[in-house]
Amino acid sequence: MEIAENPEQSKHHLPDADKPGIKYGIMAENPTNKTTIDDYYSVIRSADPVTLKLTIGGYGQEAFSRVKLDGKNLGDDQSGSFELELGKGDSLIGKILKIKTVVTDANRNPNDNASKLYVVLTGGSKPFSRTLESTVDTDGDTEDYSIKIQFYEAR
């Protein structure tokens, strides 16, 4: 992999994490790899729960995820796809959700090293749905996915 001396000129430079919106990290030589989300989700002041659904895509892929809300683990690490209630809308305002997921290409098919991660939030002012994807170089390789979502009050 070749990296330019000036990171701003490198196709391998990861975008600044402090700017709002979806951020996609480009890994290795494959510019289609989208492994990072940095975004916002609007919630309403209500007793209705906000739910996270994380689905692992790609045939035969294995995954483990750690979910944190304001730096505190939400339960045990999750294996594979899962659904998790994050809390009531009014209790999430101003908090930050962080998810780290490691996907392992375990399908033993050298022609299919792709993985996808589907992220869905419901219970806020409107549904949130994003897809991340990556292709590893070799069977058995892993890909790290990183998600950061800040909750704010819908107006």
Per-residue model confidence as pLDDT tens for the chain (155 residues): 232 333 333 222 223 333 334 333 333 344 457 999 999 999 999 989 999 999 998 888 999 999 999 999 999 999 999 999 999 999 999 999 999 999 999 888 888 889 999 999 999 999 999 999 999 988 889 999 999 999 999 98
Q: Please choose, from the candidates 105, 100, 128, 127, the residue with its C-alpha nearest in 3D space to the C-alpha of residue 116.
A: 105
What SS3 class is residue 89?
Answer: helix
- What b/e string do you get for 66-94 counting C-beta neighbours within 10 Å, with b at 16 or more? ebebeeeebeeebeeeeebebbbbebbbe
Instruction: Retrieve residue 96's tokens.
Output: 């930050």
- Amino acid symbol at 4: A
Element (H, E) at 127: none
d(CA 84, CA 53): 6
